[in-house]
Amino acid sequence: MAVVIRSASASAPAHKIEAAPPPQRYARGWHCLGLAADYADGKPHALDIFGTRLVAFQGQDDKQFYVLDAWCPHMGADLGIGCVKGNSVVCKFHGWAWGGDGACTEIPYAKRIPPKARIKSWPTLVENKLLFVWNDPEGNPPDPAQKIPRIEPVFQPEEWSDWSLVKWTIHNNCRELIDNIADVAHFVSVHGSDNVVYFANLFEGHKATQVMVGANRRLGGGEYLTTIASYYGPAYQITHMFGKMGGHPVESILMNSHTPIDPNRFELRFGVLVKKFPGMSAEQCEAMVKQYVDLTNKAFSEDVEIWHNKVRIDNPLLCDGDGPVYQNRQWYEQFYMDAASVPAELKQRRFFEIDHGIERKPEIRHAFDN
């Protein structure tokens, strides 16, 4: 790490933290709602996200997952406390049924359905056993360029553990977490790394990747831990991690996703998959996997504590050892603009590197790009 060669001037004015109110719109892109299986119980699920209430459910017949606005336009009841019938969610108050496309399909006591009886239906996607909802303030369909890449290990139960997922509510705006992509300095102070010998950021279109190599006692067994972490869009990050535990090499995949509740709170999900250990009995392997999941959860909760207790800051006071925090925020801004207004330079490929003398540089690529 950088060595302080002289202290700041005693006469310099104190740096004043500036923070405009967070944007009232929410990022354009796919947002994760957790495991799709958790929504496959035949019931409606209320979701307090994007500053409103939504309802998610699975159609009984077509098995599709749907997300609708939850406030019933008839007289304002919550569809989240209704029930699922066929491919519709039925309001508990007067029994109006709403199909997955948002059109009213039945009113039990009316001869004619009012032509305006329609509520907003949000695009959904199931990938990697996770359910996603598409947010676009302009109301456009999902951008095919922003697809969520498939992670084959999710579908290889012989070789990989299943998702272990935890969820937090963080009292802050999502941008404060996005800073993490470019935050090279926190690995030592927050995660107990001994050093970081290599750090790079690659921004390219809707992807933002961090490549890090550092010695870490907890997740690297004292040896070098290599992580390749890629955001696909504004709210879903996949990390491919190569570490060590108890002398065994460990390959793992981490998922970090955030879905805004309102401008000052977000749901944070953290998932872990661990590659099973060859030559071990099923019990030994399960114990090792659990131990590693616990270690990664603990490491992530170290970040959570910081995010939970920090203020929004528009003008971070950076030093020469920091990563490209401002450039990272510029990349993130594209998701808060109308699609046609995003300047070309925000989507351009940009690469930043901090090399403290690594012997062999890691490959620079987006994790699980396909």
Binding site for Fe ion (CB under 5 A): 303
Q: Give alpha helix (H) positions in the chain.
A: 175-178, 186-189, 282-308, 325-333, 344-347
Rank residues 173 and 210 by Cβ distance to Fe ion and give the closer one: 210
* Residue 110 contacts ligand FES per CB under 6 A: no
* Residue 94 contacts ligand FES per CB under 6 A: yes
Using the rule CB under 6 A, which residue among 22, 93, 226, 265 binds ligand FES? 93
- Please identify the residue of the shown chain whose CB is closest to the bound Fe ion: 303
**Burial letters for 309-343: b for 16+ Cβ neighbours within 10 Å, e otherwise?**
eeebeeeeeeeeebbbbebbbebbebbbeeeeeee
State the residue for tokens 């071990």: 280
* Residue 55 contacts ligand FES per CB under 6 A: no
Rank residues 267 and 303 by Cβ distance to Fe ion and give the closer one: 303
Q: Coil, strand, or helix at residue 110?
A: coil
* Residue 96 contacts ligand FES per CB under 6 A: yes
Shortest distance (Å) from residue 266 CB to Fe ion:
16
Binding partner of residue 303 among Fe ion, ligand FES, none, CB cut-off 5 to 8 Å per kind: Fe ion
Rank residues 136 and 183 by Cβ distance to Fe ion and give the closer one: 183
- Closest by CA to 221, choosing from 258, 190, 248, is 248
Shortest distance (Å) from residue 98 CB to ligand FES:
9
Contact 323, 182 (CB under 8 A): yes
Q: Is the dihedral of CA 44, 49, 50, 51 positive or negative?
A: positive
* Residue 91 contacts ligand FES per CB under 6 A: yes
Using the rule CB under 6 A, which residue among 72, 133, 196, 293 binds ligand FES? 72
Binding partner of residue 339 among ligand FES, Fe ion, none, CB cut-off 5 to 8 Å per kind: none
Rank residues 179 and 303 by Cβ distance to Fe ion and give the closer one: 303
Q: Coil, strand, or helix at residue 88?
A: strand
d(CA 123, CA 136) in angstroms, rounded, equals: 10
